[in-house]
Amino acid sequence: PLVTTGELVTRAVEARSAVAAFNIITLEHVEAVIAGAESVRSPVVLQVSENAVKFRYGRLLPLARAAVAAAERAAVPVALHLDHVQSDSLLRQAPDAGFSSVMYDAARLPYAENRAATRAAADWAHAQGLWIEAELGQVGGKDGRPPLDAHAPGARTDPDQARAFVADTAVDALAVAVGSSHAMTTRTATLDHALLKRLSGTLDVPLVLHGSSGVPDEELTAAVAGGIAKVNVGTALNIAMTGAIRDFLAAHPEAVDSREYLSVGREAMVRTVAEILRTLGAPPTA
């Protein structure tokens, strides 16, 4: 069934686990994330990033409608989250498109501007009944910038600034920079667990880890123990899908039916989703 992100994160906090949020780009991503979650009977979040909307010719609704229909028919609780939103016009489409939550991304702005923009977005989101996540201490590697850009993986969220930011903006969750970086294709990130401990001790909102594809299993487990309640995964699905399709097409140069390689790509994503959910130890739904 379709549920809200807020309830899944609250449940994860209570269970001292984390809910996984997977970035969806194609219908195969939607189907694979739900099938993977069903295979381990775990709740899951489907998230659509602003970049994915750009890829879909700027249209949110076609993918969102498919995701809602799939979520409603899922055997596990599934929530829809709009990810890395910078555009106000996209933000405003969230409720009608079936999203119960948004991540408003103004982390690229100087602190005072990030705070003001996030405050305005949070006021609007709460009036709509949406749960809202924001980011402080930019997790780098987005938008094709190499992971070695100025913000990653060395960027860090300052606990005192984070405390003031959450109080001033009233956001429901905070994405923190603790050593992960977007779009890593190797699982080699090392997290700053001492900082994570300080952040979770200082803040009374759930913390979100971005760029989780580059985080090894044991680091992920430690991050959840240290207070991460939502784990965002995107690149890992693309690695699985693209690798499987590449191998299939290399072995079957005569193939023309797109279902043949899409199904191979989809099954590879199902396995990746199940593995990550098992690592996170999300509480089974039944």
Q: Decide: helix, strand or coil at residue 16.
A: coil
Q: Is 84 annotated as a binding residue?
A: yes
Strand bridging mode 228-233 / 101-104? unpaired
Judged by beta carbon, residue 103 or residue 274, the one nearer Zn ion is 103
Q: Is 266 in the site for Zn ion (CB under 5 A)?
A: no
Residue 174, token pair as written in the block: 């905070």
What residues contact residue 86 under an 8 Å CB cut-off, 6+ apart? 50, 105, 106
3-state class of 159 per DSSP? helix
Residue pair 163/202 in contact (Cβ under 8 Å)? The answer is: yes
Cite the DSSP H helix spans in 1-141: 5-14, 27-39, 50-55, 61-72, 88-91, 111-127
Which residues, 5 to 34, sit near ligand G3H by CB under 6 A?
Answer: 23
Confirm or reject binding of residue 81 to ligand G3H (CB under 6 A). Answer: no
Choose between 76 and 211: whose C-beta lies nearer to Zn ion: 211
Helices 111-127 and 159-169, axial angle in degrees (round to 10)? 40
- Residue 277 interacting partner from ligand G3H, Zn ion, none (CB closer than 5 to 8 Å by kind): none
Question: Is 217 assigned a catalytic role?
Answer: no
Q: Which two tokens stand for residue 64?
A: 């969102």
CB of 130 to ligand G3H, least distance (A): 17
Which residue's CB is nearer to ligand G3H, number 190 or number 250? 190
Q: Which residue is nearest to ligand G3H (CB)?
A: 234
CA–CA dist 269, 239 (Å, integer): 9
Find the part of the chain contacting ligand G3H (CB under 6 A) among 2-10, 56-64, 153-161, 176-184: 176-184
Q: Which of residues 208-247 bind Zn ion (CB under 5 A)?
A: 210
Segment 182-221, which members bind ligand G3H (CB under 6 A)? 182-184, 210-214
Six token digits for residue 7: 């309830």
Confirm or reject binding of residue 233 to ligand G3H (CB under 6 A).
Answer: yes
**Cα 241 to the center of its chain, rounded Å:** 18
Select 2 or 103, whichever has its Cβ closest to ligand G3H. Answer: 103
| One character per residue 69-98, x = contact with Zn ion (rule: CB under 5 A) | ------------------------------
133 touches 175 (CB < 8 A)? yes
Residue 29 assigned ligand-binding role: no
Positions 155 through 214 that interact with Zn ion (CB under 5 A): 210
C-alpha to C-alpha distance for 60 and 54, rounded to whole angstroms: 9
Residue 281 zone, left/alpha/beta (φ > 0; ψ -120 to 50; rest): left
Sites of contact with ligand G3H (CB under 6 A): 23, 83-84, 182-184, 210-214, 232-236
Annotated binding site: 84, 105, 135, 182, 210
Q: Annotated binding site for Zn(2+), which residues?
A: 84, 105, 135, 182, 210
Residues recognised as catalytic: 83
Q: Which residues make up the interface to Zn ion (CB under 5 A)?
A: 210
